[in-house]
Amino acid sequence: GIFSPIIERNTTVPVSKVETYSTMHPEQDSICVRVYQGESHKVKNNILIDSFDVMLKPNGHIQAIDIRFSYDINGLLEVDVLLEDGKSESRIISHNATSLTTQQIDASRERLQALKIYPRDMLINRTFKAQLEEQWSRALGDEREMLGEIITDFDAALLSNDMQRVDDVRRRACEYLGIDEPKAP
């Protein structure tokens, strides 16, 4: 198989990133989540860290599955699987964090929880998108077209669930428009 990295090498931690995958068949009743560490494009050349099955409720169509990896400085990796029906499963992988006490693991999980928010749901991004849409509704011609392109780029960044990309697109849009970048509350 082909390796699908969620957290890239040299990513600043703590970090929480999500990728969306899909089932292969409309009547698929389970998925196997395999967590690897490594740099090879081929899965077989990477190290299997953990593996677990998640049961699905077949619904006659291909299902989207969000898989979120949250990782902290202590080496604690939390894997969350969110299914279309709202069902979710979490798995804690602490191979590198074996010296942590239960209290330290709980504290790490609490800190990671604060990172588990989709960029589209963050107030700063909802506010900025509303401002862009308001400007678009008042603009005409070339200005409206340019704002439409900025909105499209921002939407694509939000869908990527990559906070760095969202921040970069928002910053570039503010520079281009000559407006101050909104501040997070």
User: In this predicted structure, what is the pLDDT of residue 115?
Assistant: 74
Comparing 64-68, 110-114, 129-133, 145-149, which segment has the lowest mean pLDDT?
A: 110-114
Q: Tokens for 35, please give them.
A: 């967590």
Annotate 152-177 with b (16+ C-beta within 10 A) or e (fewer): eebeebbebbbbebbbebbeebbeee
Residue type, 150: I
How far is residue 123's CA from residue 120's CA, in Å, rounded to a whole number?
Answer: 8
pLDDT digits (tens, 9 = 90+) for 30-39: 999 999 988 8
pLDDT of the residue at 138: 94
Mean pLDDT of 5-25: 88
Could you give the 3-state DSSP secondary structure of residue 159?
Answer: helix
pLDDT > 90? residue 11: no
Query: Which candidate, 86, 85, 90, 98, places its Cα nearest to that of 16?
Result: 90
Residue 98 pLDDT greater than 80, yes or no = no
From CA 86, how far away is CA 66, in angstroms rounded?
11
pLDDT per residue over 16-30, tens digit each? 888 889 999 999 999
The least confident of 81-90, 100-109, 167-176 is 100-109
Per-residue model confidence (pLDDT) at position 15? 87
Is 101's pLDDT higher than 90?
no
The rounded distance, in Å, linking the Cα atoms of 94 and 77 is: 6
Place of tokens 């953990």: 50
Strands 77-83 and 64-71: antiparallel
What domains does the chain contain, in order, with CATH numbers?
15-116 (2.60.34.10), 120-177 (no CATH)
Task: State the chain's mean pLDDT as an integer.
Answer: 88
Q: What percent of the chain has pLDDT over 70?
A: 97
pLDDT at 161 > cutoff 90:
no
pLDDT tens figures, 41-63:
889 999 999 999 999 999 899 99
Confidence of residue 97 (pLDDT cuts 50, 70, 90): low
